[in-house]
Each structure stands twice: as structure tokens, then as C-alpha cells.
Amino acid sequence: MNLPFKFPCELKKNIDVLINTIEKRNGDAVIIIVGETGSAKTYFGSQIAYYINQYYKRTNDVENEMFFDGKAYEKYAREQTKRVLFMDESYSTMSSKRAISKVNFEFGTMLRDVRMRSHVHIFLMQDLWDFEKYVVFQRADLMIYCYKMPNFKDMTLDPGYYKIYGRKKIRKVYIDGARYHNMNCMYSDDGHGRSDNVIMFDQEKYDVLKDRYVARIKGKEKREKENVLKTKFELLKYNISTLSEIYDISQAEIGKHIGVHGSMLSKWKIQFKPKEIEKDEE
């Protein structure tokens, strides 16, 4: 089969083993792709998705299986069968920093629930150690590490270089390289080289989806910061309103010094009083 890009033989062999295994055993496969920004992770991931779709006749529209949003990914994975699902910016749903969060729990539950649907999951992340341990130790079948190499002729860093790691070596890299996040702590004899810098998605559509995702994340972070600040101010107002009890000073006197009417302090005391944690009756 002729592909519009150079596809590494070592990777092709690993992919073929994964696909043949899940089709015979009616399971799924998880491929994780890690590397710094600009190392061609998305390019490489789109090529893998394209190869599987074309060679194994799963679907002809790669872009329908490209996601940034965890909820949309989960809904699609539960409804479809034998798809190649591509999750860019996986930090939002599988981050090790939110290991016990509701989002991570729901996404992990979905991965367990849809195993018999024979999907191929491709997850992208900048750092291997940003993945939750469940994904690395229990689910990852193959890892592609993308990186840059210096081009001394042009004095630049060229992207597109890769190393391939099988299941056992993924775990060993995760453990041995954890202290300094060192991806080169183990030699990769599963394959290495350089891929073509060709993306198999519609670049404009990809950019629009990514920009929308980034804007939503920034908006969410802004709202969270605003809520935290609002809560702090409410607590501050309550503490000010209780100064009269602590120092035996009238509300009117306190209000005079901070430029607030005494009656307003009484309202603060009622309005912003912290809610007590309800205890279960024995």
C-alpha cells in the first residue's frame, strides 16, 4: 500500500501486532505519544491514525476521530466500535496532578467500559510523567517518544525524530527516569529514526479546534481564579465584621475607620458567614 509519507518499518510491525491482537481477542489498544512542544507529536500521531484507517479499513475520515475535549471523546468512544481515536492535549483528562479527580476517574472508567469495542486510542502528552499511572502501567501498549535534534548546518533544532518503546519498557522508563524526567534512561531497541513532517489532518480544522480548546481552558482557569479571589474577599469581609466581638469595639467605630457604614458590617456578618460542615447523626 502506498502512503503519502514515509512510515517506519519498526513502527509498522508494532502497529500490526497490536491491531491483529485486538481483532483476534476483541480488545483495544492504547498508544501514547510524548515529546516537547514542536517535536512533531501531532504529525506522527496523525500518520499512525491514517495508516491504521487505510490498512485495516476502519474508517476513511481521520478527522472525525480527532478530539481535544474529554467529554466528546468519551461519548464518541461509547457509541462507536473499531475506531482510531486521537486525543491531543491529553493533559485535561489524564493528568497525574489530578489523579483522584472526578474527570480522571470518569475517563478511566470509560476506558475500561469500552475495551470490547476494539478501539485504538492515541493519546498525546508533552511529558510521560504527566500521564496518570493507570494509563502508563495498565493500559499503554506502545509509546512513541518524539524529540528534536540539532542541525549544525542551519543552527536550528529539527523535529520529527522518534524512539519506540514496548509495554515493558514504558514502565521501566517511567520508573527509572522519574527523578529527572529522563526519557533517555533506557536504550530503545524497538526502533528509532526520523519521520516525515506531514500531517494527515486538515491543518486549518486542527488549528481551529486547538485554539478553541486553549481558549476554553484559559477561560476556565480565569473563572477559577476569580472564584478563589471572590471567596477570599467574602471571608475577609466576614472577619472584619467580627472585629467588634474580638476587640470590644462597636460596628459603627470600625465602619468609620474603613469607610463603611456600621449597618453594612452587620450585613457582611450574616451574608458571608462560612458554612459549617454538617455532621452525620449517630
* Percent helix, percent strand, percent coil in the chain, to nearest 5: 55, 15, 30
CA-closest candidate to residue 46, choices 62, 30, 26? 62
Pair 34, 95 in one domain: yes
79 and 195 belong to one structural domain: yes
pLDDT digits (tens, 9 = 90+) for 209-231: 777 777 776 776 677 788 888 88
Q: Where in the sequence is the domain holding 154, given as residue range(s)?
A: 9-201
Q: Which range has the top average pLDDT, 70-74, 89-93, 157-161, 234-238?
A: 157-161
Identify whether residues 71 and 170 lie together within a single domain.
yes
3-class state of residue 246 by DSSP? helix
| Spatial contact of 74 and 110, defined as CB atoms under 8 Å apart | yes
Higher pLDDT, 190 or 139: 139
Alpha-carbon distance of 280 to 282, in angstroms, equals: 6
> Last residue of a domain, which of 145, 172, 201?
201
pTM exceeding 0.85:
no
Verify that 191 and 263 share a domain, yes or no: no
| Structural domain total, the chain | 2
